[in-house]
Amino acid sequence: MTALVVEGVNKYFGDVHVLKDINIEVNQGEFVVFVGPSGCGKSTLLRVIAGLEQANSGNVSIDDKLVNAVPPAKRGIAMVFQSYALYPHLNVRGNMTLALKQARLNKTVINERVAKVSQMLDLEDYLHRYPSELSGGQRQRVAIGRAIVREPKLFLFDEPLSNLDAALRINTRIEIANLHKQLSTSMIYVTHDQTEAMTLADKIVVLRDGVVEQTGTPMELYNNPANQFVAGFLGAPAMNFLPADLLSNGDTRTIGIRPEDLAINANGQLKTRVQHVEHLGGDTNLIVQLNQHQLTVRLFGQHNVEESSNVNLGFDTSRALYFDTNGARLD
């Protein structure tokens, strides 16, 4: 059974075609991440699914029911925003219970849900605090809790970690992953951060300029990208791209090599000069120059490589990817 089906959705803002014939399926219990650069249409797509924006054409079905004309409050969804969107005059309990009270749920049911969710999110000691008395991470947990208590058919997350510092992003990301396992509810998560996409998703939808470039599991997209854009977007450090004629005369293709697939090799094909060395403890990244091209080399472990030194790099050609002049993947 599908939790969400988006069929042929198009969205315009004036003359700007923002979403272009979008087709997506989300299965029950699946965690799907929409990822892409700023302006690619991922948040607009989420808002169309939520009913906050009206598509110019196409259909949106939630839980096998067409919801094109259904208002957001009736779609069985709960949304978590980047800005938390908490009511400052209500304490944590008040923020979590407001929608339930408006739905006229029984007081016992409300208390049971709040108790369960506050325990799940470690908010039991904060129920009487106001948003101004909470840290950013705590506010985001309240926003997530407010969504969970509604017991929706579909969770929608719109870049929920963007306002958190690096350590809190990692912790909250783990909390969201654990919540998904506990709740087994379908989730759609929008981000421009490919690390979030790779670590959270059952399935990733990569968007660019309002078009779905590729859909698949994180490892499918990482190992078998459909085009040069997907190959370059997923992966940290990003994939290296070189004209293939640097290795073979007259070759018009572009070759893609992951940083971890490059290695220092005295007999290597690529003669480079080290520009910068990044010592990360567990890894060492080399930024090297090959003619006018800059490459990143990811070495596992700690390596003492001097800047401005010359190094030869080799790679396993079976791991390389090739793309035509339009960026399409070649076999």
Instruction: Judge whether residue 207 has pLDDT over 90.
Output: yes
Total structural domains in the chain?
2
For 109-128, how does the pLDDT look when each residue is reduced to its tens digit (9 = 90+)?
999 999 999 988 889 999 99
The stretch 81-99 carries a mean pLDDT of 90
For range 49-53, the mean pLDDT: 96
Residue 323's identity, in one-letter code, is F
CA dihedral (49, 50, 54, 58) in degrees, to 10, reads: 20
Mean of the pLDDT values across residues 22-27?
A: 97
The residue out of 189, 211, 232 marking a domain boundary is 232
What's the pLDDT score for residue 160? 85
Same domain, 326 and 208: no
Terminal CA-CA length for the chain: 35
- Does 167 share its domain with 51? yes
Q: In what order do the strands lie in the sheet with 293-300?
A: 262-264, 310-315, 270-279, 283-290, 293-300
- Helices 136-148 & 166-183 angle (0-180, nearest 10): 20
Quickly count: other Cβ atoms within 10 Å of residue 300's Cβ. 10
Residue 171: which CATH number? 3.40.50.300
Give 193-227 as a 3 state SS string.
Answer: CHHHHHHHCCEEEEEECCEEEEEECHHHHHHCCCE
pLDDT score of 31 more than 80? yes
Are the C-beta atoms of 311 and 288 separated by less than 8 Å? yes
Residues 214 and 294 in one domain: no
The CB density around residue 36, as the number of other CB atoms within 10 Å, is: 28
* 12-40: average pLDDT: 96
Please check whether residues 140 and 185 belong to one and the same domain: yes
Round the average pLDDT of the chain to a whole number and report it: 93
Residue 169 has pLDDT above 90, yes or no: no
pLDDT exceeds cutoff 90 at 187: yes
Percent of the chain clearing pLDDT 70 (strictly above): 100
Q: Is the dihedral of CA 322, 234, 218, 49 positive or negative?
A: negative
pLDDT of residue 121: 86
From 19-28, 170-179, 180-189, 253-262, the region with the lowest mean pLDDT:
170-179
pLDDT tens digits for range 232-278: 999 999 999 999 888 877 788 999 999 999 999 989 889 999 999 99
Confidence of residue 221 (pLDDT cuts 50, 70, 90): very high
* Shared-domain flag, residues 178 and 113: yes
Residue 85 confidence (pLDDT): 83
Q: Say whether pLDDT at 163 is over 80.
A: no
Say whether both 216 and 272 belong to one domain: no
Tens-place pLDDT, residues 122-152: 899 999 999 999 988 889 889 999 999 998 9
CATH code, domain carrying 325: 2.40.50.140
- pLDDT tens digit string along 278-302? 999 999 999 999 999 999 999 999 9
Please indicate, yes or no, whether residues 77 and 114 belong to a single structural domain of this protein. yes
Which pLDDT belongs to residue 140? 87
Amino acid at 5: V
Its domain, for residue 318, covers 238-330
Q: Are residues 217 and 294 in the same domain?
A: no
Final residue of a domain: which of 232, 256, 283? 232
pLDDT at 171 (0 to 100)? 83
CA pair distance 199, 201, nearest whole angstrom? 6
For residues 225 and 242, state if they share a domain. no
Tokens, residue 99: 């929608």
| Same-domain check for residues 219 and 324 | no
272 and 183 together in one domain = no
**End-of-domain residue from the set 198, 217, 232:** 232
214 and 260 housed in the same domain: no
